[in-house]
Amino acid sequence: MPALVSRQEKCPLCGNAFDAEGQGCRPSCPLATGCKVVCCPSCGYSFPQETGWAGRLKGWLDRRKEDGR
Amino acid sequence: MTPGSSAAACPQPLDHKEIVAAPRTLVLVGNPNVGKSVLFGALTGKYVTVSNYPGTTVEVTRGTAEIGGSRWHVLDTPGTNNLLPMSEDEQVTRDILLREPEYVCVQVCDAKNLRRGLLLGCQLAEAGVPFALALNLADEAAARGIRIDVDRLAAALGIDVIPTVAVQRTGLPHLLGRIPEARVSKFRPRYDEAIEEALAELDLLLPEGRLSRRSLGLMLLAGDESLQPWLAARVSEDVRERMERIRRGLASRYPESLRYVVSRQRLAIADRLHDQVVTKGKASAGSALARRIGAWSTDPVKGIPILLLVLAVAYLFVGVFGAKTAVDFLENTVFYDHVVPWTEALLRWIVPAGSIQEFLVGPPGLPFRETNGFIIGKYGLVSMGLAYGMAIVLPIVATFFLAFSVLEDSGYLPRLAVMVNRVFKWMGLNGKAVLPMVLGLGCDTMATMTARIMETRKERVIVTLLLALGVPCSAQIAVIFAMLQGLSFAASIWFTVVILLVLFLVGWLAARVIPGRGSDFVLELPPLRVPQLGNVLVKTLARMEWYLREALPLFVLGTLLLWGLDRAHLLQLVERAAAPVVVGILQLPEQSASAFILGFLRRDYAAAGLFQIYQPYMTTGTMTRVMEIQVTVALVTVTLFIPCIANFLMILKERGWKTGLGIAAFVLPFAVGVGGGLNLLMRRFF
């Protein structure tokens, strides 16, 4: 099954905000296991969830932004 | 996801007795991700039951709440944008409204996106369902300068409208106080005369139900097949045939599908209501400029220079910097000057001289391209697999993803889709098809999955075919850019024109050969803005991680395959077997057959193989006319191949074995045929 983290995502294409849970690759995809691609429920656009190294970079940037306030 | 018929066929409403005996029922409805479940939690507490809606895999959450001094049964329905179901989730929501015996609704709506909420609200009003409207996320809407005239909206709809912030429980006491008083909206969207006449005729034939006959009539006119089991249980076949005749008669009056016509007119009604009640705070000078550029970017005239500028900058960054400077540095300086010799030296130092060392890195003293070492050799895991993946493809993929993330974060990408919409319509596709086609430039496998957003089977098949045939994924674009750098401008033009012509012609022909009809394109445009560096970096890194996880294992697998064939002395056999096609038809060197074998794993891997053959001549500027023709023919043939094994499997899964194998049976000989034809043409006219 998709390796998505349940959290709020914002579609980069249509701007729809949604929970990533259950919005991953369909089980029919041959590469679904461990897949981090999220599919927007509004427009169908697919994009990889920002976890792993990207998630760490995002966390670091968010913390810097918080500290700067 | 396609709507299943099982939900509609479900004969019984949900069993309330499993929860608690409650005299009244409250159904929460709303668009996806508007805070409906948060509101449900606030109303019901933690004692809830989650179970599949009978006959489906869709989960419905049920609980009880104390409202107005009495116990209520509360149902949390799956998020829906429409009561005309497009998915099993949406069908379950519609069926709950259709089958539950007595209930009132609370529609939870995102105050930041009232337009979408009103589209659903219009349908609840049409359905004659008693409901109240919760304008959730009211705080975020206010922070964005969105002001909603709540009193005016309540007066227009004739129901209670309550701003809420469900996570903070703001507005919930007021909402709870109004639920027992929920009433049927007096708002009645009116459609054009022909639709109203058809609705009046249907009104005489449709049975009484929980939803109004007008609402059922609209579902019927829009061709909602999932309603048929419910109707079959209530009216005779003769009556259903009469209703179908009314629907067909109306459909023949419009060039578009009735679903689209009804949705478009309803959207216009929701838009008018939205504009009456929503005002936005004064826009800053920056946002005014962004809005103006945003408007230009979708203008048929002003949008073209913007599009050309975007493409030129993207080409300079990806095609010149990524494909030339970065590849040259990573491949020659990093890999072949350092990584490969260092790995070879390390392995010779660790593994004592002998057969194992020779197996891993080949005999000492020979250049690695002349040995068949497992790690370092002509087909070595490091010297070929990693070098292809990390030094040739990755730098271009990284620059492509960076450029793509800038476009995505700026909000230009959907505008690009609108701009190229007109062009793609000539190829027998409607505007919505642009989305998977643009996505295909990132990954054809993902894009094939995204083809589900197309409404008709015909459109899905055409999009899948064109993706498989001529839309190169980012990794392949990467290698194509690298190859085109070494060719003359004229050869690059030949390549580009042939691929575009093939796409246009095949799309145009497919639109006429494949039976069925098309639909129209609606895409919400987010505001245009300056891309945020942090967002762009995070998005790029996420995509690169995804690329490394998905593509590199296939690169290693491809290298192992070639190494195995070479060790078993089968590679020459394969090359000889492929010679009639590779040498005879395409007039390419025999060794390029191995690149085509890799093409079955990934197209970019095949292109990287071709790149390896011709790179020495490109670097030294000694490419001959014949070589230029060979590279162009090889690139066109590889581009028209099935993108990769993952994409092929996805095609089989999504479109079925028959269509999938049909596409493959067309694409493979077609690719070779076009390559052969191009070879003849170029040898005569280039």
Nearest to B653 among A19, A28, A49 (CB): A28
Percent of chain B with pLDDT over 70: 85
> Are residues B435 and A44, on separate chains, in Cβ contact within 8 Å?
yes
Question: Is residue A2, in this structure, part of any structural domain at all?
Answer: no
* Among the ranges given (B71-75, B445-449, B675-679), the one the predictor scored with the smallest mean pLDDT: B445-449
* CATH number for the domain harbouring residue B157: 3.40.50.300
Q: Is the pLDDT of residue B362 over 70?
A: yes
Q: What is the pLDDT of residue B164?
A: 92
Question: Is residue B104, in this structure, part of any structural domain at all?
Answer: yes
* Among the ranges given (A44-48, B294-298, B560-564, B674-678), the one the predictor scored with the smallest mean pLDDT: A44-48
Q: How many CB atoms lie within 10 A of CB B420?
A: 16
> Are residues B32 and A34, on separate chains, in Cβ contact within 8 Å?
no
**Helix, strand or coil for residue B74?**
strand
Confidence of residue B47 (pLDDT cuts 50, 70, 90): low
Q: Is the pLDDT of residue B7 over 50?
A: no
Question: Is residue A57, in this structure, part of any structural domain at all?
Answer: yes
CB B74, CB B63: distance < 8 Å: yes
Q: Is the pLDDT of residue A18 over 50?
A: yes
Number of folded domains that form chain B? 3
Nearest to A46 among B79, B446, B649 (CB): B446
Among B420, A18, B523, CA closest to A47: A18
- Give Cβ neighbours of residue B461 (< 8 Å, ≥ 6 apart): B510, B514, B655, B659
Question: Which residue range(s) make up the domain with B243?
Answer: 193-282
Among B420, B469, B421, B425, CA closest to B447: B469
Confidence of residue B26 (pLDDT cuts 50, 70, 90): very high
Q: Is the pLDDT of residue B143 over 90?
A: no
Question: Is residue B294, in this structure, part of any structural domain at all?
Answer: no
For residue B324, the distance in angstroms to the closest alpha carbon of chain A comes to 26
For residue A41, the distance in angstroms to the closest alpha carbon of chain B comes to 8
Highest mean pLDDT among B201-215, B307-321, B645-659: B201-215
Alpha-carbon distance of B520 to B517, in angstroms, equals 11
Question: Which residue range(s) make up the domain with A24?
Answer: 8-68
Q: Which residue has the higher pLDDT, A41 or B583?
A: B583
Q: What is the pLDDT of residue B431?
A: 63
> Are residues A44 and B526, on separate chains, in Cβ contact within 8 Å?
no
Mean of pLDDT values over B651-677: 86
Q: What is the pLDDT of residue B6?
A: 39
Chain A (3-62) residues lying within 8 Å, Cβ to Cβ, of chain B: 8, 12-19, 25-26, 28-31, 34, 36-37, 39, 41-55, 57-58, 61
For residue B573, the distance in angstroms to the closest alpha carbon of chain A comes to 31
Mean of pLDDT values over B466-484: 79
Q: Are B211 and B85 part of one and the same domain?
A: no
* Among the ranges given (A1-10, B296-305, B613-622), the one the predictor scored with the smallest mean pLDDT: A1-10
Q: Are B351 and B265 part of one and the same domain?
A: no
Mean of pLDDT values over B580-599: 78
Q: Which residue has the higher pLDDT, B91 or B519?
A: B91
Q: Are B477 and B610 part of one and the same domain?
A: yes
Q: Is the pLDDT of residue B658 over 80?
A: yes
Q: What is the pLDDT of residue B467?
A: 87
The b/e string for B48-65 (b: 16+ C-beta within 10 A; e otherwise) is: eeeeebbbbebebbbbbb
Q: What is the pLDDT of residue A43?
A: 66
Q: What is the pLDDT of residue B289?
A: 74
Give per-residue pLDDT as tens, B233-267.
899 999 999 999 999 999 888 877 788 788 878 88
> Are residues B649 and A30, on separate chains, in Cβ contact within 8 Å?
yes
Alpha-carbon distance of B458 to B511, in angstroms, equals 8
Please count the residue pairs, one from chain A and one from chain B, whose beta carbons lie less than 8 angstroms apart.
105
Question: Is residue B3, in this structure, part of any structural domain at all?
Answer: no
Mean of pLDDT values over B326-347: 88
Q: Are B154 and B198 part of one and the same domain?
A: no
Which of B248, B282, B316 represents a domain boundary (last residue)? B282
Q: Is the pLDDT of residue B218 over 90?
A: yes
Q: Is A1 on the interface with B (CB under 8 A)?
A: no
Q: Are B500 and B483 part of one and the same domain?
A: yes
For residue B120, the distance in angstroms to the closest alpha carbon of chain A comes to 14
Q: Is the pLDDT of residue B522 over 70?
A: no
Question: Is residue B300, in this structure, part of any structural domain at all?
Answer: no
Q: Are B337 and B466 part of one and the same domain?
A: yes
Q: What is the pLDDT of residue A1?
A: 47
Question: Is residue A48, in this structure, part of any structural domain at all?
Answer: yes
Q: Are B270 and B386 part of one and the same domain?
A: no
Question: Is residue B5, in this structure, part of any structural domain at all?
Answer: no
Q: What is the pLDDT of residue B412?
A: 81
Calculate the alpha carbon distances from B151 to B155, B178, B487, B510 in Å.
6, 15, 67, 53
Question: Is residue B299, in this structure, part of any structural domain at all?
Answer: no
Confidence of residue B411 (pLDDT cuts 50, 70, 90): confident
The three-point CA angle B8-B13-B17 to 5° equals 155
Closest chain B residue by Cα to residue A56: B538
Which of B238, B267, B282 represents a domain boundary (last residue)? B282
Which of B152, B184, B216 represents a domain boundary (last residue)? B184
Q: Are B115 and B203 part of one and the same domain?
A: no
Question: Is residue A13, in this structure, part of any structural domain at all?
Answer: yes
Closest chain A residue by Cα to residue B79: A41
Alpha-carbon distance of B349 to B344, in angstroms, equals 9
Alpha-carbon distance of B142 to B127, in angstroms, equals 31
Q: Are B175 and B206 part of one and the same domain?
A: no
Highest mean pLDDT among B21-25, B339-343, B577-581: B339-343
Mean of pLDDT values over B608-630: 82
Mean of pLDDT values over B79-101: 82
Where do runs of H (alpha helix) occur along B128-236?
Answer: 138-143, 150-157, 172-178, 193-203, 213-221, 228-232
Number of folded domains that form chain A? 1
> Are residues B546 and A36, on separate chains, in Cβ contact within 8 Å?
yes
* Among the ranges given (B120-124, B220-224, B244-248, B387-391), the one the predictor scored with the smallest mean pLDDT: B387-391
Average pLDDT, chain B: 81
> Are residues B542 and A39, on separate chains, in Cβ contact within 8 Å?
no
Residue tagged 């040995």 (tokens): B371
Nearest to B538 among A19, A44, A57 (CB): A57
Mean of pLDDT values over B556-577: 79
Question: Is residue B584, in this structure, part of any structural domain at all?
Answer: yes
Mean of pLDDT values over B172-188: 91
> Are residues B450 and A45, on separate chains, in Cβ contact within 8 Å?
yes
Q: What is the pLDDT of residue B435?
A: 65
Q: Are B32 and B172 part of one and the same domain?
A: yes
Residues of B at the A interface, defined by Cβ within 8 angstroms: 1, 32-33, 79, 81, 408-409, 411, 413-414, 435-436, 439, 445-447, 449-450, 452-453, 523-524, 526, 534, 537-539, 541-543, 545-546, 549-550, 646, 649-650, 653-654
> Are residues A52 and B413, on separate chains, in Cβ contact within 8 Å?
no
* CATH number for the domain harbouring residue B243: 1.10.287.1770
Mean of pLDDT values over B212-231: 90
Question: Is residue B554, in this structure, part of any structural domain at all?
Answer: yes
Q: What is the pLDDT of residue B3?
A: 36
Question: Is residue A29, in this structure, part of any structural domain at all?
Answer: yes
Query: How many whole angstroms from its chain centre is CA B641?
Result: 21
Residue tagged 């006319």 (tokens): B625
CB B536, CB B402: distance < 8 Å: yes
Calculate the alpha carbon distances from B457 to B96, B251, B462, B518, B654 in Å.
28, 19, 9, 9, 11
The letter for the amino acid at B309 is: L
Confidence of residue B524 (pLDDT cuts 50, 70, 90): low
Q: What is the pLDDT of residue B498?
A: 93
CB B141, CB B111: distance < 8 Å: yes
Neighbour-count burial of B224, counting CB atoms closer than 10 A to its CB (0-12 exposed, 13-18 middle, 19+ buried): buried
